[in-house]
């Protein structure tokens, strides 16, 4: 116990108690941080730092984000996990997609096989949730696509074809509101 001099000048045991002022300051800072980063609508899209989304005047927000695909300048990410290099998808030709259903798996390009396997795995998980009535059929097939505004359109169309072929037909694109930059 710390000793403090009383009015009479003699040392006495005085209980100073718990000083909660600094603790309250710390909790206030944590609370403000959590409130700032909390999404009230339940869906949170995270954009990487090197991704510049196109601007739009649209104000429609997705009901629920089940799966998000990011097409960044160097990499393609699925739920913030690195999948393939963007250049590998850019190199795919139209003939690969024409023969998509008839080609054996060993003849497919590696990037296409990785994307297909990853998306198919997520679709199977969504189908199980749908069977348990956890999600609707519409949300089972939804995917949010974030595309850098400098990305080649051929990369976007190739990825859209891969998504559609694996069952993700409800594609929505993430954009920045015109007021944000």
pLDDT digits (tens, 9 = 90+) for 147-164: 888 888 888 888 888 888
With the C-alpha atoms ordered 114, 117, 120, 122, is the resulting torsion angle positive or negative?
negative
pLDDT digits (tens, 9 = 90+) for 92-108: 765 555 555 555 556 67
The reported pLDDT for the residue numbered 121 is: 92
Q: List the domain boundaries for the chain.
A: 3-37, 55-177
Q: What SS3 state is found at 55?
A: strand
Please give the Cα distance from 127 to 130 (Å, whole number): 5
The reported pLDDT for the residue numbered 181 is: 44
Please give the Cα distance from 52 to 47 (Å, whole number): 8
Q: Which residues of the chain have pLDDT under 50?
A: 180-181
Contact criterion met (CB below 8 Å) for 146 and 67 = no
Torsion of CA 112, 115, 116, 121, to 10 degrees: 160
The reported pLDDT for the residue numbered 49 is: 60
The reported pLDDT for the residue numbered 155 is: 84
Angle at 178 (CA atoms; ends 34, 43), nearest 5 degrees? 35
Residue 151 pairs in a beta bridge with: none
């Amino acid at each position: 116990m710390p000793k403090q001099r009383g009015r009479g000048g003699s040392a006495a045991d005085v209980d100073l108690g718990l000083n909660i002022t600094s603790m309250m300051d710390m909790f206030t800072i944590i609370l403000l941080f959590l409130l700032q980063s909390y999404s009230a609508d339940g869906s949170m899209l995270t954009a990487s730092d090197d991704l510049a989304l196109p601007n739009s005047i649209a104000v429609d927000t997705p009901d629920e984000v089940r799966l998000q695909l990011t097409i960044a300048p160097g990499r393609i990410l699925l739920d913030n996990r690195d999948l393939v290099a963007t250049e590998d998808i850019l190199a795919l030709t139209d003939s690969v997609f024409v023969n998509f259903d008839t080609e054996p798996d060993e003849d497919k390009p590696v990037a296409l096989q990785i994307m297909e396997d990853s998306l198919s795995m997520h679709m199977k998980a969504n189908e199980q949730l749908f069977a348990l009535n956890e999600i609707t059929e519409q949300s089972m097939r939804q995917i949010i696509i974030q595309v850098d505004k400098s990305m080649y359109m051929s990369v976007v169309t190739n990825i859209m074809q891969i998504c559609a072929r694996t069952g993700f037909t409800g594609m929505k694109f993430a954009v920045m509101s015109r007021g944000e930059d």
